[in-house]
Amino acid sequence: MVKFTVEEMRRIMDKKHNIRNMSVVAHVDHGKSTLTDSLVAAAGIIAQDVAGDVRMTDSRADEAERGITIKSTGISLYYEMSDESLKSYKGDRDGNEYLIDLIDSPGHVDFSSEVTAALRITDGALVVVDCIEGVCVQTETVLRQALGERIRPVLTVNKMDRCFLELQVGGEEAYQTFSRVIENANVIMATYEDALLGDVQVYPEKGTVAFSAGLHGWAFTLSNFAKMYASKFGVDESKMMERLWGENYFDPTTKKWTIKHTGSDTCKRGFVQFCYEPIRQIINTCMNDQKDKLLPMLQKLGVTMKDLTGKALMKRVMQTWLPASNALLEMMIYHLPSPAKAQRYRVENLYEGPLDDIYASAIRNCDPEGPLMLYVSKMIPASDKGRFYAFGRVFSGRVATGMKVRIMGPNYAPGQKKDLYVKNVQRTVIWMGKKQESVEDVPCGNTVAMVGLDQFITKNATLTNEKEVDAC
């Protein structure tokens, strides 16, 4: 588990191709905050054992008490990809280290203004859907908001543990259930799609859908299984991946793939045969404490057994075999855009002035040397009574401790003094769950919290350098 320092985080902040700003969105109680814990565990902020129970992004007392997220909270994660994982990555990158700014937003309909604030400062969204409940009202609302802000989605079908433990669903039935969830999500995405974003629909065989059990801290994408089987059978990984979804059936007795079910009892769909059944076997073996069967399996996975039994054993085995953080973070790094890429097509959503002036081109190029353009999306209560952090994202330039900035509120009109203040930023901090760490400055492409501006901003504002007069 990585224990990282603020200096390491600050160093990666300059690599704009290696940053992902993303939000986690879903219907209420579909498991967003619990799943977020698994991601935070990977970045070394909470221990893996308690992932799922801590709800790191629920930083307010009322959230922890009700077990729901009310305000959207930000958290920065550090993740190092292996060379092996980056082999087929086609985009621009600068080394193997990535910084993921994660914003957990509420799922309740009553808090939808919070969701919009969270979305505006992100470029990608992880849409979490309960595999049993399916796509619900709020899922559709949030997806519509996200696509309206030109945010690229990836999907995770969550609470898979319910299929194995609670409902004991068979493989084919589970496949049909997951397939329906993905299809319903894609219908919404196709309805609100945008020419600039291109195809935003998600496909398991392309790696843009994950399957997860947030509470137990495990998840996988088809590429995880394709990698395992590609080396085992000596076949091409991308071919294997295509066969793990859709109308592809495998019969172990004849060792042949077909595109129709042969009618034989041993013939099963690729996904069922190679993904669902192995997981079911391991979960059942753990839950029934069949240690003699389990030991050879565990040795293959490299898991050492302590005195764990039942659910605790199952949780440990599954987390070691298919850690949620690896599957989900790799999916985000592969399929969600960096600020450098996203700001090119999002500039007209973000900037109201002429799209050919210096500010628009600085935002478009995510230029750290350009004029400061920063959007404050929300105010977060500080531990000092009555004080707030201004939380937002730097779109161009950089914001530094002690810097003088122009604060333009929602009612500001160019050339007028109304809703306009010139003030100093007392401190710039980055958010790491419940802790805030001070940094000297924050360059574009990153989220930041600022101290000392709370008297002048009620909710949202645009910040720019003091000398710029006509930015809006």
200 & 295 share domain: yes
Per-residue pLDDT of 192-245, as tens digits, reads 877 777 788 888 888 889 988 877 788 888 888 888 888 777 788 788 888 888
Structure tokens at 82: 């292996």
Residue 1 within a domain: no
287 & 180 share domain: yes
pLDDT at 48: 38
Q: What is the percent of the chain where pLDDT is above 90? A: 0
User: % helix / strand / coil in the chain, to the nearest 5?
Assistant: 40, 25, 40
419 & 289 share domain: no
Q: Is the pLDDT of residue 16 over 70?
A: yes
> Is 78 exposed, middle or buried (CB count within 10 Å of its CB: 0-12, 13-18, 19+)?
buried
245 & 376 share domain: no
CATH code for the domain in which residue 434 is found: 2.40.30.10
What confidence category does residue 303 fall into, taking pLDDT thresholds of 50, 70 and 90?
low
Grouping H, G, I as helix, E, B as strand and the rest as coil, residue 153 is: strand
Q: What is the DSSP string of 303-342?
A: PPP-S--HHHHHHHHHHHHSBHHHHHHHHHHHHS--HHHH
Residue 350 within a domain: no
Q: Is the pLDDT of residue 51 over 50?
A: no
* Cα–Cα nearest to 222, from 147, 334, 134, 314: 334
Contact 335, 152 (CB under 8 A): yes
Residue 349 within a domain: no
Residue 332 CB partners (closer than 8 Å, separation 6+): 20, 22, 100, 124, 126, 154
* Cα–Cα nearest to 56, from 69, 66, 108: 69
Please count the structural domains in the chain: 2
Window from 108-117, 154-163, 255-264 with minimum mean pLDDT = 108-117
Grouping H, G, I as helix, E, B as strand and the rest as coil, residue 416 is: coil
Q: How many CB atoms lie within 10 A of CB 438?
A: 12
pLDDT at 251: 80
- Choose the final residue of a domain: 284, 304, 335: 335
305 & 375 share domain: no
Prediction pTM value: 0.83
319 & 241 share domain: yes
CATH code for the domain in which residue 69 is found: 3.40.50.300
387 & 286 share domain: no
pLDDT at 425: 86
- Helix ranges (DSSP H) in 220-323: 222-233, 237-243, 270-271, 277-287, 291-301, 310-321
Higher per-residue confidence, 270 vs 31: 270
* Cα–Cα nearest to 99, from 43, 179, 46: 43
Bridge partners, residue 392, by sequence: 376, 448
> Is 185 exposed, middle or buried (CB count within 10 Å of its CB: 0-12, 13-18, 19+)?
buried
Residue 120 within a domain: yes
171 & 317 share domain: yes
84 & 50 share domain: yes
What confidence category does residue 28 fall into, taking pLDDT thresholds of 50, 70 and 90?
low
290 & 425 share domain: no
CA distance 446 to 14: 9
285 & 191 share domain: yes
Residue 56 within a domain: yes
329 & 373 share domain: no
Per-residue pLDDT of 333-383, as tens digits, reads 888 888 888 888 888 877 777 778 888 888 888 888 888 888 888 788 777
Count the alpha carbons within 13 Å of 414 in the hemisphere toward its beta carbon.
8
Residue 149 CB partners (closer than 8 Å, separation 6+): 116, 119, 120, 346, 349
Which domain covers residue 372, as residue numbers? 355-465
Residue 43 within a domain: yes
